[in-house]
Chain A
């Protein structure tokens, strides 16, 4: 039950994008098409899950025993950067079109604060190993959800008669705000 609550909390109630406003850059940048938004979400979820695992091991097996908690942030960044490099190589190998569709946003997962936030939250809340994995997956699912929802709306927006002053980025930001407002409905559930 505890694990389920952590999952729901990370995916919906405390959605990283729409409740904590972490990882806004890909949220706006890669949400033009549902397909590329979903792939971006999957890549981020993968990085999030592995980050949760590796950073937990790193934190609890190395940093805590040697009193090196102050190295938390640089070592987490090291983990994330290496993982993103790996994912980039993997995607380039597996799917060239996807690699080009994600473009600069793929290496930018490195500096995606949602992922660093995930690692820091997990260690701050003193999750167990299993809990942090579930937390990572939940956060990833929440990220996919936010991106795909946004991409779906933006695909419809392409056809909508938007006033000239609001075309492009302004209407996207307004929609993002309304979406975040809708997610406020989950607040207080847990």
Chain B
């Protein structure tokens, strides 16, 4: 009995020892030299795998940063802290990246946009479906559909739908990754540097008469802003478009715009700030 006991212990111990030695040898022979900095950088990155940097996820970005193929500042999502930290690990000059945020360039909410009278939409309330069939309830064929697909796409809880049926971007939380812009079938969300504040909040290409009819907040293509702007604003297909490289804000007659289609972005922030639901603010 005691003998069996001892033999059992010796056998198992021996087996363990043999396998352990075999593995130790294999470990030496098959060792993969991996740059330790890759794991370190990967640890710091936001790990949202959003793809805003143009790489296939955060790990891929970490590998390429360590290899020197991409600049640490390409990760806009992490912000300056992450860029500084990554640069510190790699010992390279910290590049700076301007914080980018998403801007919703449509102010035609349920209150402003005219609704279809004879063709009400009863289909699924998802933007992409509405864009495919019928185009939702609004008469405007370029504006926000109000389905909230951009809000669903946001991985950082930086968006919500306000009471007027329009998405609102919470600037502090927005990382500028662009997932919402991709999700929007009407392309009304654009990614801009945070210090860019003047926008044309309309995408409607209808002629002046029609656009006046479809939405109270539409650009009615009067062209006043373009005429006075010295090239800072141009009219393209019945829509004012800002040319940011030539823009001189002081020359734009903002008070002349009857629909407030060209406006500062913070005008709407003031209105909606109190409406931010408690759980996201």
Residues of A within 8 A of B (CB): 58, 62-63, 66-68, 70-71, 74-75, 78-79, 82, 85-86, 89-90, 92-93, 96
The answer to whether B8 and A71 touch across the interface, beta carbons within 8 angstroms, is yes
What are the residues of chain A within 8 A of B19 when measuring CB–CB? Answer: 78-79, 82
Q: A78-B15, A79-B19, A82-B19 are in contact. Are A68 and B8 (CB under 8 A)?
A: yes
> What per-residue 1/0 map shows which CB atoms of B9-30 lie under 8 Å from chain A?
0011001100110110011001
Pairwise interchain contact A86-B7, C-beta atoms closer than 8 A: no
The answer to whether A75 and B15 touch (CB under 8 A), given A67-B4, A92-B32, is yes
Chain A residues within an 8 Å CB radius of B16: 78
CA distance A63 to B14 in the complex (A): 13
Partner of B22, one of A58, A82, A96: A82
If A78-B19, A79-B19, A93-B32 touch, whether A68 touches B27 (CB-CB below 8 Å) is no
Q: Which residues of A contact B12 (CB under 8 A)?
A: 71, 74-75, 78
> Does B11 lie within 8 Å of A68, measured CB to CB?
yes
Please tell me which one of the listed residues B7, B11, B20, B27 contacts residue A89 in the complex, with CB atoms under 8 A apart: B27
CA A75 to CA B10, docked complex, whole Å: 12
Nearest chain-B residue to A91 (Cβ)?
A: B30
- Least CB separation from A78: chain B residue: B15
Please give, as numbers and ranges, the residues of chain A lying within 8 Å of B15 by CB-CB distance.
58, 75, 78-79
Interface residues of B in 13-60 (CB under 8 A from A): 15-16, 19-20, 22-23, 26-27, 30-32
Please list 9 pairs of residues, one from A and one from B, whose beta carbons are closer than 8 Å in the complex, sorted by A's number: A63-B11, A68-B8, A71-B11, A78-B19, A79-B15, A82-B20, A89-B26, A89-B30, A90-B26
Nearest residue, chain B, Cβ from A54: B19
CA distance A79 to B22 in the complex (A): 11
State the Cβ distance, B22 to closest chain A Cβ, in Å. 7
Give 7 nearest A-B pairs by CB, closest first.
Answer: A82-B19, A89-B30, A93-B30, A66-B7, A92-B32, A86-B26, A93-B32
Q: Which residues of chain A come closer than 8 Å to B4, judged between CB atoms?
A: 66-68
Q: In whole angstroms, how far apart are the Cα atoms of A68 and B15 in the complex?
A: 13
How far is B32's CA from A174's CA once the two chains are assembled, in angstroms?
Answer: 41
Interface residue SS majority, chain A: helix
Q: Which residue of B lies closest to A92 (CB)?
A: B32
Report if A92-B30 is in contact (Cβ < 8 Å); known contacts: A78-B16, A82-B22, A85-B23. Answer: yes
Question: Could you tell me the distance in whole angstroms from the C-beta of B149 to the nearest C-beta in chain A?
Answer: 17
Q: How far is the CB of B105 from chain A (nearest CB, A)?
A: 32
C-alpha gap A78/B4 in the complex (Å): 20
Contacts of B23 in A (CB 8 A): 82, 85-86
B7 with A68: CB separation less than 8 A: yes
Tell me the minimal C-beta distance from B40 to chain A in angstroms.
Answer: 18
**What's the nearest-Cβ distance from chain B to residue A7, in Å?**
28
What residues on A are CB-neighbors of B11 within 8 Å?
Answer: 62-63, 66, 68, 71, 75
16 other contacts beyond A68-B11, A82-B23, with CB at 8 A cut-off?
A70-B8, A71-B11, A71-B12, A78-B16, A78-B19, A79-B15, A79-B19, A82-B19, A82-B22, A85-B23, A85-B26, A89-B26, A92-B30, A92-B32, A93-B30, A93-B31
Q: A78-B15, A78-B16 are in contact. Are A86 and B8 (CB under 8 A)?
A: no
Chain B neighbourhood of A96, CB < 8 A: 32
Kindly supply a per-residue 1/0 record for chain B positions 162-176, scoring 1 wherever the CB is within 8 Å of any chain A CB and 0 otherwise: 000000000000000
Q: Find the A residue at minimum CB distance from B22.
A: A82
Q: Which residues of B contact A70 (CB under 8 A)?
A: 8
Complex CA–CA separation, A2 to B32 (angstroms) = 44
CB distance from A67 to the nearest CB of B (A): 6
Task: Give the distance in Å from the alpha carbon of A85 to the alpha carbon of B25 in the complex.
Answer: 12
